[in-house]
Structure 1
Amino acid sequence: MRRTLGVLMALMICLSMPYASAVEGRDAPNCASAELADVTGAMAVDGGSCLDINLGVHEPGTVLSFDLLVADDAVDVLMFDEAGKAPYDLGQSYRSVMTTPVSTEAVLGQQVFHWKVPASINAKAWSMVVDNLAHDGDQGEGDQGGARAQISLQVSVLQDGALTVVHDLQAAANNTSLWLSGDDGLSLDAGTAVQLEAWGLDGAGDLAFFTDTQRTAWEDGAQHTPEAGTALLDVSTTSSLTWTTPASLDGVPMHLMLDAGDAIVGGAPPADLRMTVRLTLDPPMNPVIEDDNNASTTLGQPLLLDASSTPDRLNRLVEWRWDLDADEDADGDGDATNDGTWGTSTSVSASWGQPGTYTVTLRVRDVDGRTAMVQHEVSVTDVVSPSAAVSSLGDEQPVEDGYRLDPDAVLRLSCAASSDDHRIDVCAWAIDGAPAGQNDTVVASWADSGEHTVRLTVSDPSGNTDVIERRVVVVDRTLPRLAATSVGALPATVNAGASDVVRVTVDDPVDDIETLRVHWDLNPLSDTDGNGVPDDDADLLGEEVQITFDAAGERVVVITVFDPAGNSDRAVWTVDVAAAATT
């Protein structure tokens, strides 16, 4: 019993000791190094050796195209970044850190595939190791060396556009499926061209588009029967299809499946597979312009032009350029439809300073630099009437609502002060109802005193009008006269309460007697008519008036005669009003 226990203890001690000999016994492979230029032609890799090919530094998301040919003997083709290659270089276990699915063990023959550099924070240096040996860290998997192998490799960087949404080497195990278009799928505008390309590497598989409904049905256990033209079946080499999104699927989420099982009716039998898949979308560029007022506006009134309803479910449109007048080449480049600058606004508030029909041009640019354009006509009308105004240029003297003019002096009036939201097109004059020309100014004169009417009608090019009238009074400069004898003949005394008829005589060298006005102001200290002159009120009016004074005392009456032009003469009548006799 003790002997047995001792043996067990010795064995446990041995098992607990570090297995240094195994680690120390692993040989570093000491690979030869090569640049891509070295292997574009055939290059030998002897059995028991390896070749480390420098692929360069690449940004995440870069797609590389590989054309690899291995002849004479199988080799392992392993992809590493700098950190991942360290275990291989040290002879340690590396299979968990080699980059998949691009690494391939026991390759013999030609392999053509595209590989997308995995996501990372920074660009990385990449190597492809051609392993033709029994590496201590390969866990007995893959090629274990043997005869000399001949290899050639060509690698190039592929330039995808922004609308290449899938492009990579995909791998699916037997009886599994992958969704390549994300959980939400792709919502496409009607008319979007869909190009699906596949390059089989190992095995055969199927690619098919599903709607949400079809995906749900498949997830519930039903096989998918693809519609014509929406699937690539039993792909083992190279295959492609081009499909245009119909109106019935406008905005309907579409899901792309890679199937290595029996999910798709008529597809390949279940098997492990690797396949390069590239999905490129080419949506239509059909910009749309809408406005908020049925394609019409008035002068100076902003109109909102809006292109936000332009189909763009993939959000690939990045810049917009608005040209508001296709008849004017504002930048002088020979193209009248491309004025304005590129920007990110899908709408613009526009106004125009002249009536007419304007062609608005919208250009859009997508993430790949492609452009498209659309035009939209807008009718601009002038509905605002001009504002007529008359200004004086001649001998006339401005007075309220018109002008005063001496006989034979020249009246010269202008319409230059008139205004319009567009422009004044016509100034039409009339004097006393008779046309007087369509000019910026009008000229007239009269030999005799009198009153005349000048009428101005202004029009804009749209036919809107405005009218203004001005009165012109032609007056002489001679004064009317109160006959001194008639004033002197007025009674010096009257009785209070008595009604007396008094009379003055007036005349004028030019004006008719009938046109003269005689005012009798019985209270010259009070401005009854509010004209600022307290002693010219017409308390009584006429050459002959009937006057009564109610109270005794001295009274002062101011008598003023006016002609039509406002010229005047005046006299003061002082009268003693005697108290009425009592009985």
Structure 2
Amino acid sequence: MERQPGSIFAVVIILLSAQYIHAESKAITNCNNVNATSLPDNWTLEQQSCVRIDLGELEPSKTFDFEISSNNAIDILLFPANSLEVYLNEQSYRNEMIWQQESVFENFNGDGEWHWTVPDDREKTRWYMIIDNFAHPGDDGMGAQGELEVQVSLDMQEIMTQPYTIFDSIIRVDTSSFSVAEGPIVVDAGTKINIFARTMEGNPDIFIMTEEQKNLYSNGGTAASRIVEADLLLVSSEMYKQWLVPESYEDINLYVIVDNRAGPGGGGAGTTIAKTTVTITLDPIINPVISTLNPQQTYDVGELISFSALDTPNRSNQISDSGYSWDVDQDDIPDFFGPILDYMWPNPDNASLKLNVLSTDGTMVSTILALQIEDNTPPNASILVNGDLQKGYNQTILISALFSDNWGVESIEWLVDGIIEQSNASIGDAVSSSFTFSFDSN
């Protein structure tokens, strides 16, 4: 790059609603400075000019969507604040220790969109994006060299992460290589794994593998060792795949692989670097399950029964402890909360127990367990007599008794020699009874 003596003259005019940017090259790179709050925006970049966008101080793990359009080749560069001076001072910046490599696109031309998640290996950091139309001593002759005027538009939006999003960012994969986007993923049977892919460079394949399959592949095995029905092959534009996890893969370590090796048939060749946005979300199964230690359909009145919802599928943490509620009296109003319930029904009844589960994304599903509550336990009765009772003929005997039942006593009968001598059919809430009798001498 030739250096020009003298002062720098920059002109900014309005042309077709676009800023017109010009800068002469010098030992220190001067870019037109833009703040992310002004986005979306568009510019006309003259030869040997650039735009520096201050993205602000970004929190780790925040995810952003970028959309860009260019009518000629440019370089899209991303730097943390502590590395920006390397670029501005015309030093060699094409190094993964300097720029944010996965979100850098050299010789980009056309329309593109990608997601980028702020790295969590550092605290809150200021970031800068450079739209570069320069030839630099520090670019090693790589990338766009600023030979043509370029029309560029850019937008940036923060993505509000939805529940069950387990990965959402761009991944860079070298040629003849692969990268694990996410894993291990452990889910319930019936869960849907959704994979959305959009490429900025290259045409990778996306697989789902078990841990055993991944290890075989890492050690030189072929892509035949994968879950074929979950494939996304030759990602050349926006692509989407949903895979329903069968019982055979429940509670198994699963991995989403971005593959840039040659094959399988119909897949990418792996001859160029791949940079692809991968978004992985789950649709967890919501299936409430009621279980008991002693499963049966008939229970005794007043019997304390322990119910559990812990067999409900929850490997994606789709239900919190507060997401379980129980309705014991069939009025559709929750009576108890939590995954465990101890309860007794006080009366014989054709009862039902309803379990509601509320997932973390607001989905509610219910199940009902039918129960028969019966009075199966006989009453308890005891005669209050100490020792042997001795009386003569025609002498009155007075005897008292206590009685109880888990539900209620309908009647009391006093029998002598198997013959009913006294009967009380309406006893109300009484818990005792007395009996008077004498033996006839005849």
* Fold conserved between structures, TM > 0.5: yes
Q: 1: CA distance between counterparts of 2:119 and 2:201?
A: 21
Residues 381 and 403, structure 2, Cα contact 8 Å, conserved in 1: yes
Cα deviation, residue 378, structure 1: 3.3
Judged with a 3 Å threshold, the aligned counterparts in structure 2 of structure 1 residues 425 and 88 are, in CA distance, closer, same or farther, namely farther
From 310, 313, 328, give the equivalent of 1:308.
Answer: 310
SS of corresponding position for 1:232:
coil
Helix, strand or coil at the partner of 1:312: coil
Tell whether the 8 Å contact from 1:389 to 1:468 is kept in structure 2 after alignment: no
Kindly indicate whether residue 50 of structure 2 is the aligned counterpart of residue 50 of structure 1.
Answer: yes
- Paired amino acid for 2:180: W
Judge conservation of contact 1:76–1:132 (CA < 8 Å) in 2.
yes
CA distance in 1 between counterparts of 2:352 and 2:247 reads 30
Residue matched to 1:172: 173
* Distance in 2 (alpha carbons) for counterparts of 1:383 and 1:110: 76
1:196 CA drift (Å)? 1.6
1:65-76 pair list within 5 angstroms: 65-71=65-71, 73-76=72-75
Q: Residues 382 and 69 from structure 1, CA distance in 2 versus in 1: closer, same or farther, beyond 3 angstroms?
A: same
Task: State how far apart, in whole Å, the 1-side matches of 2:217 and 2:54 are.
Answer: 44
What is the deviation of 1:240?
Answer: 1.5
What are the Cα deviations for residues 183-233 of structure 1, in whole angstroms up to 9, with x where unaligned?
Answer: xx3333222212222112112111122234544543454422366532111
Provide, for residues 274-326 of structure 1, a one-character-per-residue CA deviation record: whole Å limited to 9, x for no partner.
11112222121112111012234434432221222222333333234232514
Gapped regions of structure 1 (runs ≥ 5): 1-24, 330-334, 391-398, 404-412, 442-457, 460-465, 474-513, 515-583
Of residues 130-139 and 110-119 in structure 1, the stretch that sits farther from structure 2 once superposed is 130-139
**2: CA distance between counterparts of 1:217 and 1:146?**
47
Secondary structure, counterpart of 2:370 in structure 1: strand
Separation of aligned partners in 2, 1:145 and 1:121:
33
2:363 — aligned with what? 370
1:244-393 matches, within 5 Å, as 244-262=244-262, 264-271=264-271, 272-295=273-296, 296-319=298-321, 320-327=323-330, 329=331, 335-336=332-333, 338-341=334-337, 343=338, 346-386=339-379
- Tell me, yes or no, if the aligned pair for 2:80 and 2:128 is still in contact at 8 Å: yes
Task: Judge conservation of contact 1:180–1:256 (CA < 8 Å) in 2.
Answer: yes
Aligned sequence identity (%): 24
| Partner SS state of residue 232, structure 2 | strand
Is 1:143–2:144 an aligned residue pair? yes
SS of the aligned residue for 1:87 comes to: helix
1:218 matched to 2:217? The reply is yes
Whether the 8 Å CA contact 2:68–2:153 is kept in 1: the answer is: yes
Q: What is the CA–CA distance in structure 2 between the aligned matches of 1:401 and 1:32, rounded to whole Å?
A: 115
Cα distance between partner residues in 1 of 2:86 and 2:75: 16
Instruction: Report the residue type matching 1:223 in the other structure.
Output: T
Task: Find the residue that maps to 2:303 and give its secondary structure.
Answer: coil
* 8 Å contact kept, 2:39–2:156: no
Shift of 1:383: 3.6
Alpha-carbon distance in structure 2 between the residues aligned to 1:196 and 1:370: 21
Task: Name the residue aligned to 1:193.
Answer: 192
Asked whether the 8 Å contact 1:36–1:153 carries over to 2, the reply is: no
Relative distance call for 1:321 and 1:245 in structure 2 (3 A) is closer
Distance 1:162 1:121 in 2: 24
Q: Is 54-63 or 428-437 further displaced after alignment?
A: 428-437
Residue 161 (structure 2) pairs with residue 160 (structure 1): yes
Q: CA deviation at 1:260?
A: 1.1
Do the aligned partners of residues 424 and 49 (structure 1) sit closer, same or farther apart at CA in structure 2, a change above 3 Å counting?
same
Q: Distance in 2 between matches of 1:433 and 1:209?
A: 79
- The aligned counterpart of 1:64 is 64
**Mean CA deviation greater in 164-173 or 221-230:** 221-230
Give the distance between the partners of 1:302 and 1:434, measured in 2 at CA: 37
Please say if residues 27 and 136 of structure 1, whose CA atoms lie closer than 8 Å, have aligned partners that are also in contact: no
Are the counterparts in 2 of residues 223 and 262 from structure 1 also a CA contact under 8 Å?
A: no
Amino acid at match of 1:111: G
Q: Secondary structure at the match of 2:310?
A: coil
1:111 is aligned to 112
Task: Give the whole-Å Cα distance in 2 for the aligned partners of 1:75 and 1:86.
Answer: 20
Partner of 2:436: 471
Contact 1:39–1:152 under 8 Å retained in 2? no
The amino acid of 2:73's aligned partner reads: A
Q: How does 1:24-43 map to 2 (within 5 A)?
A: 27-36=27-36, 38-43=38-43
Alpha-carbon contact 1:26-1:136 (below 8 Å) kept: no
Tell me how far 1:176 sits from its aligned partner: 0.8
SS in 1 for 2:234: strand
Query: 3-state SS of the aligned residue for 1:101?
Result: helix
Structure 1 pair 436–262 and aligned structure 2 pair: CA distance change class (3 A) = closer
Alpha-carbon shift at residue 389 of structure 1 (Å): 9.3
1:252, CA displacement in angstroms? 3.4
Residue in 1 that maps onto 2:425 = 438
Specify which of 413, 419, 422 is matched with residue 407 of structure 2. 422
Aligned to 1:394: none
Distance in 2 separating the partners of 1:305 and 1:128: 57
CA distance in 2, matches of 1:249, 1:165: 18
Partner amino acid for 1:306?
A: S
Change (3 A) 1:212 1:42: closer
In the other structure, the counterpart of 1:554 is none
Moved more, 425-434 or 245-254: 425-434
Aligned-residue offset at 1:422 = 2.5
Give how far 1:401 is off.
5.8
For the 8 Å contact 1:299–1:355, the answer to whether it is kept is: yes
Q: Which letter does structure 1 place at the counterpart of 2:195?
A: L
Once residues 37 and 43 of structure 2 are traced to their aligned partners in structure 1, the CA distance between those partners, rounded to angstroms, is: 11
Note closer, same or farther for the CA distance 1:138–1:400 as it changes in structure 2 (3 Å cut): farther
Number of residues of Structure 1 aligned to a counterpart in Structure 2: 399
Give the Cα–Cα distance (whole angstroms) in 2 for the partners of residues 220 and 84 of structure 1: 36
